[in-house]
């Protein structure tokens, strides 16, 4: 579940608590497939002795920047980023209490101040990678632009949508097109922009793309202000739920009134994903394209 606003909230709340701390031991690691591209033992030994210098985010990836705490010279191939993807149900917390007994906690890393970095994931879809600078650059290059960056312009979005006849919702969910959006925020964005999720991307006018660009940023900013959305599992690094679920316009509001026009919110399926729309505010066909009664 965590999408851009949730990962951003986690990164911000984690940074103050773990920056400058050193990873001293792996206390629990009971799900080998959690770690990609590294054998478990190599993964654990590579972490020990590394200091966290920053906590950041790229798309839905949570990134811990690491640097060797001792004065040893770092070889250029040394991994210097610990990257987490939380997928559906993952969460990361800093805990002072022993979480080893929790069956859904799959990775615990002890820090030098006695606290623990705890990764929990009931559905086991989350993944962890230890990346070199080059590998991080490759991962980042495969993702679309950061929607909240000032460098993300309407023209960028327009270029990425032009000549694509796929449904606009599918493309907004595609991390290669734009990074960080998931099912919830795509539905919220398309409602705010007044665009039907089944519209072919190349049917959008430049004005609509401009409105969509604004709506993406508006929705994400608002969600971050509300510390993300909690449907079930999501918590920030201190265990607090988000508040943005109380501000949803369409997501999960099937049968309730559209906040703009009052018609009932409808649930359809797009790209195998539950999709919430107001069919009045988000028309699939232009009104002028509807045949007149006498035809």
| Contact status: 229 vs DNA (CB under 7 A) | yes
* Cα–Cα dist 235/227, whole Å: 9
Which of the ranges 22-30, 94-102, 152-160, 231-239 carries the binding residues for DNA, by CB under 7 A?
231-239
Cβ atoms of 119 and 161 closer than 8 Å: no
Task: Give least dist CB 209 to DNA, A.
Answer: 17
Residues 6 or more apart from 259 whose CB is under 8 A from it? Answer: 249
Single out the catalytic residue among 2, 5, 79, 197: 2
* Cα–Cα dist 182/179, whole Å: 9
Given the complex with DNA, which of 22 and 187 has the nearer CB atom?
187
What values do phi and psi take at 173, rounded to 5?
-80, -15
Concerning whether 188 is annotated as a catalytic residue, the answer is: no
Regarding beta strands 273-277 and 266-270, do their DSSP bridges make them parallel or antiparallel, or are they unpaired?
antiparallel
Q: Write b or e for each residue in 261-284: b if 16 or more Cβ atoms lie within 10 A of its Cβ, otherwise e.
A: eeeebbeeebbeeebbbbeebbbe
Single out the catalytic residue among 21, 28, 57, 60: 60
Among 48, 259, 271, 280, interactor with DNA by CB under 7 A: 271
- Chain centre distance of CA 46: 26
Among 106, 129, 167, 253, interactor with DNA by CB under 7 A: 167
| Contact status: 120 vs DNA (CB under 7 A) | no
Concerning whether 147 is annotated as a catalytic residue, the answer is: no
| Contact status: 12 vs DNA (CB under 7 A) | no
Q: Write b or e for each residue in 108-119: b if 16 or more Cβ atoms lie within 10 A of its Cβ, otherwise e.
A: bbbbeeebbbbb
Residues 81-100 close enough to bind DNA by CB under 7 A: 85, 87-89
Task: Give least dist CB 279 to DNA, A.
Answer: 18
Concerning whether 60 is annotated as a catalytic residue, the answer is: yes
CA 102-3-149 angle, 5° bins: 135
Given the complex with DNA, which of 21 and 126 has the nearer CB atom?
126
Single out the catalytic residue among 19, 78, 243, 273: 273
Cβ atoms of 2 and 10 closer than 8 Å: yes
| Contact status: 124 vs DNA (CB under 7 A) | yes
Among 74, 138, 231, 284, interactor with DNA by CB under 7 A: 231
* Cα–Cα dist 143/132, whole Å: 17
Give the CB-side neighbour count of residue 100, counting CA atoms within 13 A: 8
The residues pairing with 93 across neighbouring beta strands, listed in sequence order, are 118
Among 26, 166, 259, 268, interactor with DNA by CB under 7 A: 166
Concerning whether 232 is annotated as a catalytic residue, the answer is: no
Which of the ranges 45-53, 92-100, 179-187, 287-295 carries the binding residues for DNA, by CB under 7 A?
179-187
| Contact status: 170 vs DNA (CB under 7 A) | yes
Cβ atoms of 23 and 49 closer than 8 Å: yes
| Contact status: 104 vs DNA (CB under 7 A) | yes
Given the complex with DNA, which of 28 and 167 has the nearer CB atom?
167
Regarding beta strands 127-131 and 35-36, do their DSSP bridges make them parallel or antiparallel, or are they unpaired?
parallel
* Interface with DNA (CB under 7 A): 1-3, 33, 59-60, 85, 87-89, 103-104, 122-125, 165-167, 170, 173, 175, 182-184, 229-234, 271-274
List residues with catalytic annotation: 2-3, 60, 273
């Amino acid at each position: 579940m965590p999408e851009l606003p949730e990962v951003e909230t986690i990164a911000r709340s984690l940074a103050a608590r773990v920056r400058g701390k050193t990873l001293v031991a792996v206390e629990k690691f009971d799900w080998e497939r959690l770690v990609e591209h590294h054998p478990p033992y190599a993964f654990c030994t590579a972490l020990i002795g590394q200091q966290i210098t920053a906590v950041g985010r790229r798309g839905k990836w949570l990134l811990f920047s690491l640097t060797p705490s001792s004065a040893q010279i770092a070889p250029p191939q040394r991994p210097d980023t610990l990257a987490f993807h939380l997928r559906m149900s993952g969460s990361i917390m800093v805990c002072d209490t022993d979480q080893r007994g929790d069956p859904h906690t799959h990775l615990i890393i002890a820090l030098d101040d006695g606290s623990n970095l705890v990764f929990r994931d009931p559905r086991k879809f989350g993944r962890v990678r230890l990346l070199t600078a080059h590998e991080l650059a490759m991962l980042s290059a495969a993702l679309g632009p950061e929607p909240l960056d000032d460098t993300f312009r309407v023209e960028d979005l327009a270029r990425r949508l032009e000549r694509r006849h796929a449904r606009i919702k599918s493309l907004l969910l595609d991390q290669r097109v734009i990074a960080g959006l998931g099912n919830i925020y795509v539905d919220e964005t398309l409602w705010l922009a007044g665009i039907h999720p089944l519209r072919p991307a190349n049917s959008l006018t430049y004005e609509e793309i401009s409105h969509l660009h604004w709506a993406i940023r508006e929705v994400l900013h608002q969600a971050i202000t509300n510390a993300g959305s909690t449907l079930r599992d999501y918590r920030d690094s201190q265990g607090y739920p988000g508040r943005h679920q109380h501000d949803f316009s369409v997501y999960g509001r099937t049968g309730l009134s559209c906040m703009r026009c009052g018609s009932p919110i409808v649930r359809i399926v797009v790209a195998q994903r539950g999709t919430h729309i107001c069919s009045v505010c988000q028309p699939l066909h232009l009104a002028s394209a509807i045949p007149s009664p006498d035809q």
